[in-house]
Structure 1
Amino acid sequence: MNYLKQNDAFTRGQDYLHQVQRLALEPGMVDVFDNLRDRIPICTWIGDNINTVNAQINAYLEVCHECFHPQERRHIQIFAVPIAQSFGIDGLCNILTNPITILVDVGRVAPKDWFGVVVHEYAHAHLGDFGHNQQFASILSHLCLGLGLEPPYWEEGMEATLRSWPYCKSTIDPLEFWIGR
């Protein structure tokens, strides 16, 4: 009976990954299926735990919404997902989906930093733009001030700095989280 329960969790995790894969900028951004060693434990862990993780990052999304008047809020959905390591990113905002989709690799940063990743990606979603320009800095600053985080102050040439604002320390092995270790 335990095998059946594990298999159900694996199937739920696999189905979840296939669903969020369609929301990424390109399907290869969400791909653990080629990882022969870890795909079964990753899918099983996701099948058992993703609702709890998504509830947490959805709470962060709602806090970000509170920084704006209701009529200024965009329709945004958010999901935790392992992003392929080759992309080297903690999260992404796909402004081309309706609703706008934020994907966060919660395995790439410590749980205490999940909020910062959500805030960063929310700024992209609110602006409806991928860039790290002065408009992005303005929205991010507004969010940071409202949420008690250190805000960025725009200076010419700070686009590279804004790519990782607020700063989040990366984990050593992002897949460890997704395996449940």
Structure 2
Amino acid sequence: MSPYRAGESLIIADPWVRGYKYLEAMQQLALIPDMVDVRENSSVGDRICGWIGKYIDTINAELRACLEACHGCFHSELRRPIQIWATPLSEEFGIDGFCNILLDPTVILIDVGRTSPDDWLSIVVHEYAHAHIGSPGHDIRFFEVLSHLCLGLGLPPPVWQPDIEDYLKNWPYCPSRANPLSFWMGYV
């Protein structure tokens, strides 16, 4: 379940190189490469690559624990193969995470810098619901799976309402941080 290309060494001594290669791999998993915020040729990009090279395994382990908690809400025969990875996402898309259902296994990318670590499970739950139904929409099937996950994991479940599509786009609600890149540079 590594994001690195086949044959590449997973052990890269230089944190900056490791971080840069990791971000390149995340771009390949995104719906379009520009969704991953790399900021090449800048001191910000250099700092982000170095930080990711040092700490990404720890962050991804926390996200995998959230993913496993979601899997635990379903019988094993109903669980879809899903990978989850942390990566900075471009501000222009305005999202905390997304699910790429076009890949097999399905891939969830989460920008953990956009919210508090206490809210990471909520973002994973939302994207897991998309992965579970294999659809990007926020319809009745999404509502049912999201409700099931929220109840199973102790999160407040959504309440059915007429404008359900718009309502579910941000459920469970997680306040955003003012500067998501500060996390990725090691300031938070």
Please give the range of the TM-score, normalised by the shorter of the 2 chains. Answer: over 0.9
Q: Secondary structure of 2:37's match?
A: coil
Q: TM-score, normalised by structure 2?
A: 0.91
* CA–CA separation in structure 2 for the residues paired with 1:112 and 1:165: 15
The alpha carbon displacement at 1:35 in A equals 6.4
Identity of paired residues, percent? Answer: 55
Q: Does 1:167 align with 2:176?
A: no
The question of whether the paired residues in 2 share the 8 Å contact of 1:140 and 1:151 is answered with: yes
Aligned to 1:83: 89
* CA–CA separation in structure 2 for the residues paired with 1:35 and 1:51: 24
The alpha carbon displacement at 1:156 in A equals 2.5
The question of whether the paired residues in 1 share the 8 Å contact of 2:98 and 2:127 is answered with: yes
Q: TM-score, normalised by structure 1?
A: 0.94
The question of whether the paired residues in 1 share the 8 Å contact of 2:40 and 2:46 is answered with: no
Q: 2:50 aligns with which of 36, 44, 48?
A: 44
* CA–CA separation in structure 1 for the residues paired with 2:125 and 2:84: 12
The question of whether the paired residues in 2 share the 8 Å contact of 1:134 and 1:154 is answered with: no
Q: Deviations over 1:28-78 (max 9, x none)?
A: 001323462300000000000000000000000000000000000000000
Which ranges in structure 1 are unaligned for 5 or more consecutive residues? 1-6
* CA–CA separation in structure 1 for the residues paired with 2:39 and 2:148: 39
Considering only aligned residues, what root-mean-square deviation do their CA atoms show, in Å?
A: 1.1
* Residues 156-165 or 41-50, more deviating: 156-165
Q: Deviations over 1:117-164 (max 9, x none)?
A: 000000000010001111101100000011111111322222111011
Aligned to 2:3: none
* CA–CA separation in structure 1 for the residues paired with 2:154 and 2:116: 19
Q: 1:150 aligns with which of 125, 148, 156?
A: 156
The question of whether the paired residues in 2 share the 8 Å contact of 1:138 and 1:154 is answered with: no
Q: Secondary structure of 2:113's match?
A: coil
Matched letter for residue 156 of structure 2: E
* CA–CA separation in structure 2 for the residues paired with 1:141 and 1:153: 9
Q: 1:119 aligns with which of 125, 128, 143?
A: 125
Q: Secondary structure of 1:11's match?
A: helix
The alpha carbon displacement at 1:23 in A equals 0.5
Aligned to 1:12: 18
Q: Does 1:137 align with 2:130?
A: no
Q: Deviations over 1:75-111 (max 9, x none)?
A: 0000000001110100000000010000000000111
Q: Secondary structure of 1:177's match?
A: helix
The question of whether the paired residues in 2 share the 8 Å contact of 1:12 and 1:43 is answered with: yes
Which ranges in structure 2 are unaligned for 5 or more consecutive residues? 1-12
